[in-house]
Structures are given as C-alpha cells and as structure tokens.
C-alpha cells in the first residue's frame, strides 16, 4: 500500500498574530509545531504544503525543513484551506498513491502512533473508504485518510469548510483515539499558553 502524508502548513496564523508553526513554544520545548507534524509522518512519504514564496512566513517554515524534505507551495497569499487540499491531492495523484493522509501542522499532540492506527483501518477497508480519527469525547479530528479514487473531487472544494461536503457524500469510518489529541488545534494565544 502506497500512502502519502500531506502536511497542511500554509495557514496565515491570523488569530495568533505571529507564525505559530515556526516559533518554538518555550525554551523548554524547542521543537516547533511544524517539526512535530513532520515527525508524526514518520515512516511514510510526505509532502509539506507551505504558503506562497512572497508570504512573510514562507521562509521561516521552509528553513525548518531538512534539505531533503519535500514541499510544495499551496496557492497565492490569499489561499484558503481548500487550496491547500487541492494542491496536496494533485501532488498525490501524480505519484499514483493508494491514499492521502491529511495532517494539520497546528495540532501538536498527533503522533506517528495515531497515524499508524488509521493506516491499519484504511488497509482493513481495502484502501477504499475515508477513515478519520475521532477524539475520545466524540469530536471529529485528524488525521483523515482519503482513498485515491476520491482525490479528483478535491478540485471542487472551496473555502475553509469545503471538505465537509466531500466527507458527507462518501461517508467516513471513524477510529476513536484514547485522547483529545486528534482535535486539539493551536489557534489562539490562549491555546499557545496551554500547550
């Protein structure tokens, strides 16, 4: 089974007021959100979606990647989440993968173990169903793995909530995780302090 992990790291960090993905949270935790996301993809080919090259956060995020870490640019400076999903789907289709696993770079507690649990479920369904992590409290989270046959439909997505219609149309097999990690985004200064 050939899986690609797509890491969404093209966001604007507007609510945060600084680049949350490339800033270490503290002196005691020098890793960054982006590096944690890359670590969660451990063992699988991955691609990091970055903002456009003229975006003020592009260079800092790119500098966190190792020289051999692949990345792509997801749209222009006003690109939204659907633009990122489209870019990742195109990249995955070009590589003829069986599935695309979507990870959000602003979710610091997702690990390789979460991803592997979903990969096992994806394989159980013959790489033909969407599988998604579910938090212990019942919320829907990430990662989400899409079978290759659905990826062409990403071209019709729009807006930050565009994926929801796709999930509703095809249905989702959920895997409950023993924590809230799949639902914990760092979006605000308060989230940052709690991390």
Mean pLDDT of successive 10-residue stretches along the chain, which has 195 residues: 97 87 80 95 96 94 96 81 94 98 96 97 96 95 97 89 88 95 90 81
For residue 188, what is the DSSP state?
A: S
pLDDT given for residue 187 in this prediction: 87
pLDDT given for residue 27 in this prediction: 63
pTM: 0.94
pLDDT given for residue 195 in this prediction: 72
Cross-strand bridge partners of residue 26: 29
Crossing angle for the helix pair 112-124 and 33-40, to the nearest 10 degrees:
40
Q: Name the CATH code of domain 3-194 (choices 3.90.550.10, 3.40.50.2300, 1.10.287.3510, 3.40.190.10).
A: 3.90.550.10
pLDDT given for residue 165 in this prediction: 87
Closest CA to 174 of 147, 137, 141: 141
Phi, psi of 123 (to 5 degrees): -70, -35
Is residue 104 within 8 A of residue 115, CB to CB? The reply is no
- H or E stretch covering 142: strand 140-147
């Amino acid at each position: 089974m050939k899986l690609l992990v797509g890491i969404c790291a093209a966001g604007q960090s507007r609510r945060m007021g600084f680049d949350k993905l490339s800033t270490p949270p503290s002196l005691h935790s020098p890793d960054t959100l982006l590096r944690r996301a890359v670590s969660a993809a451990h063992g699988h080919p991955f691609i990091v979606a970055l903002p456009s090259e003229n975006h003020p956060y592009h260079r800092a995020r790119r500098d966190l990647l190792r020289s051999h870490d692949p990345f792509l640019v997801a749209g222009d400076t006003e690109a939204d989440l659907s633009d990122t999903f489209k870019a990742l789907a195109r990249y995955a289709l070009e590589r003829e993968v069986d599935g695309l696993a979507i990870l959000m770079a602003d979710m610091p507690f997702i690990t390789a173990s979460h991803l592997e649990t979903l990969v096992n479920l994806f394989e159980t369904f013959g790489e033909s169903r969407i599988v998604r992590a579910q938090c212990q409290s019942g919320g829907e989270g990430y990662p989400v793995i899409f079978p290759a046959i659905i990826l062409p439909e990403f071209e019709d997505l729009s807006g930050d909530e565009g994926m929801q219609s796709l999930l509703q149309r095809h249905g989702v097999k959920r895997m409950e995780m023993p924590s809230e990690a799949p639902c914990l985004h760092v979006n605000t200064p308060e989230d940052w302090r709690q991390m």
